[in-house]
Amino acid sequence: MKVHFDATKCSGYGRCAEVCPSVFSMGEFGYAELLTDGTVPAGDEAKAREAVSECPEKAISVLSE
Ligand code: SF4
């Protein structure tokens, strides 16, 4: 599974890093950063989907299943 992250939409609430810390972290300027190329580690698919659905800015989307 791979996710796409649009940094221009991120407002920095940090919800993604809370629910899926294997893929997202909060950068030094308070906005999200991808820890991978968007690839979700096996077993974390549900967490990644939760990050997609909980991002208030719709900055994250599923690129491929
Ligand atoms: S949940 Fe969305 S808006 Fe919030 S930090 Fe993550 S990508 Fe940015």
Ligand 1: distance of its center to the CA of 17 in Å? 8
Q: What is the pTM of this model?
A: 0.95
- What DSSP element (H or E) covers 17? helix 15-19
Q: Does residue 30 have its Cβ closer than 6 Å to ligand 1?
A: no
Can you name the residues that pair with 59 across neighbouring β-strands? none
* CATH number for the domain running over 2-64: 3.30.70.20
Express each pLDDT in 9-58 by its tens digit. Answer: 999 999 999 999 999 999 999 999 999 999 999 999 999 999 999 999 99
Q: For the chain, what are the domain ranges? A: 2-64
C-alpha torsion sign, points 23, 28, 31, 37? negative
What CA–CA distances, in Å, run from 27 to 1, 22, 43, 46? 23, 14, 24, 23
